Amino acid sequence: MERLFREQQRLIDSIIPTKRYIYGQIDWNTRCTGILGARGTGKTTLMLQYITENYRSGHKGLYITVDSPYFQAHNLFEFAKEFYQLGGEALFLDEIHKYPDWSLHIKAIYDALPDLKTVFSGSSLLQITKQKADLSRRAIIYNLHGLSLREYINFTHNKEYPSYTLATILTEHQQIADNLCREIKILKEFRDYLQVGYYPFFLEGEPLYKFKVREVINHILEVDLPFVNRIETRQISKIKKLLYLLATGVPFVPNIAKLAEATDISRPRLYEYLEKLQDAKLLNLVRSQGRGYEVLTKPDKILLENSNVMYAITDEVNSGTLRELFFVNQLRNAHSIHPQLLDNTVELSSSGDFIVNGRYTFEVGGKKKGFKQISGVDDAFVVADGIEAGFKNKIPLWIFGFMY
């Protein structure tokens, strides 16, 4: 136990003080809390920051990573019971998806040790309702996304710029842009963010950033996907090829037959892998309005989940693809954080590029993009890249990065 506390102290000494958007949203007083998210988004740092502020002295709060060799040979529930008997109050479990039958152990801790708070983190691939033990009535689950443009700017400028709802952006974007552009060069910040700003480890320096993003991609494909979804190792090279083909699409409107042939993946398996890559936060699958989101149906457009992944995979980045994936990424992330403020997901529109909430139509393009495609459409907006501020129904693309 003492060795684990020493390891925790070493980790605490190296963490950054800057907090992610979700830190203040988590109810840390609940008995069982789960934090799910893509690799590299800061789940470990989040837990260590809370320990630093609340359990720095004494031995009442302990962080452990359950994929360590120690926990491959020791029972997690029995360890939690021993920690509790020694005066422990809060146990923080990292990489929970790598512990066999982890949900059964969490349930046992919850039921047998009612005075012990448990916080666990795991891959965004985890589907809590499909585990062996039902945690839906026990654990409060939070989803952690990559940095928004707003967070990136707050981190780099040591500021606290606020976030805005979609409704506020649509009606007040001119004032928001005017106020912000007086203080920072927003187009430069936006360009930098698209390349090196989605993962918090950009704070460790830019020279190795793309290399670290590639490490994130490889770990998801080589470790997390096989571990959580029991995907055979021999399929991983095919999935890597699939991801590369999708990254170099312009933007990718899928021909499933050709993709299956190029990757040597059967069509049913291909549909499954696309969904898993979306769960892993490497892709965003977009379907036309009204089609629904059933697995094993063809998505109408496939985009990488974030721009940093695209830059890590290829140097030939298409500007049209980049704009669309940023727009979809930021709105979908904001929706999952504030579902009461943004009623539904982003879908493809028959008039413009995308329709949000079944109501707002958006045409995404460069600074000269006009209203021709959405002429006569109610609640329609042009989202233009390369402009600092908009006018009426023409809105700068970057401002959608201030939704969370």
Q: Is 209 found in the same domain as 127?
A: no
Q: Please give the model's pTM, rounded to 2 decimal places.
A: 0.92
> Which pLDDT value is given to residue 232?
87
Q: Is 113 found in the same domain as 224?
A: no
Q: Is there a contact between 382 and 363 (Cβ–Cβ < 8 Å)?
A: yes
Examine the fold and report which residue of 115, 144, 173 is the final residue of a domain before the chain moves on.
144
Examine the fold and report which residue of 120, 144, 168 is the final residue of a domain before the chain moves on.
144
Per the structure block, which two tokens stand in for 363? 């045409």
- Interhelix angle 186-196/166-181, nearest 10 degrees: 120
- State the CATH number of the domain containing residue 65: 3.40.50.300
Q: Is 161 found in the same domain as 62?
A: no
Rounded distance, CA 317 to CA 330, Å? Answer: 19
Q: Is 382 found in the same domain as 277?
A: yes
Q: Is 133 found in the same domain as 208?
A: no
User: Tokens 């109050």, residue?
Assistant: 89
> Which pLDDT value is given to residue 338?
62
Lowest mean pLDDT of 13-17, 136-140, 287-291, 304-308, name the range: 287-291
Q: How many domains does the chain have?
A: 2
Q: Is 102 found in the same domain as 165?
A: no
Residue numbers of the domain that contains 158: 148-404
Q: Is 340 found in the same domain as 209?
A: yes
Q: Is 204 found in the same domain as 128?
A: no
Rounded distance, CA 381 to CA 14, Å? Answer: 45
Summarised one tens digit per residue, pLDDT across range 92-150 is 999 999 999 999 999 999 999 999 999 999 999 988 767 777 787 899 999 999 999 99
**Where in 100-172 does DSSP place strands (E)?**
117-123, 140-144
Going by C-alpha positions, the residue among 266, 289, 277 that lies closest to residue 220 is 277
Q: Is 205 found in the same domain as 312?
A: yes
Q: Is 70 found in the same domain as 179?
A: no
Average pLDDT, the chain: 92
Examine the fold and report which residue of 144, 159, 177 is the final residue of a domain before the chain moves on.
144
Helix (H, G, I), strand (E, B) or coil at 287: coil
What is the helix (H) or strand (E) element at residue 310, kind and residue range? helix 307-313
CA distances from 380 to 164, 325, 330, 403 (A): 19, 19, 19, 19
Query: Could you give the percent of the chain with pLDDT greater than 90?
Result: 82
Identity of the amino acid at 49: Q
> Which pLDDT value is given to residue 342?
46
Residue 296 has pLDDT above 70, yes or no: no
Identity of the amino acid at 158: N
Average pLDDT score over residue span 58-68: 94
Q: Is 256 found in the same domain as 271?
A: yes
Q: Is there a contact between 299 and 370 (Cβ–Cβ < 8 Å)?
A: no
Summarised one tens digit per residue, pLDDT across range 170-222 is 999 999 999 999 999 999 999 999 999 999 999 998 899 999 999 999 999 99
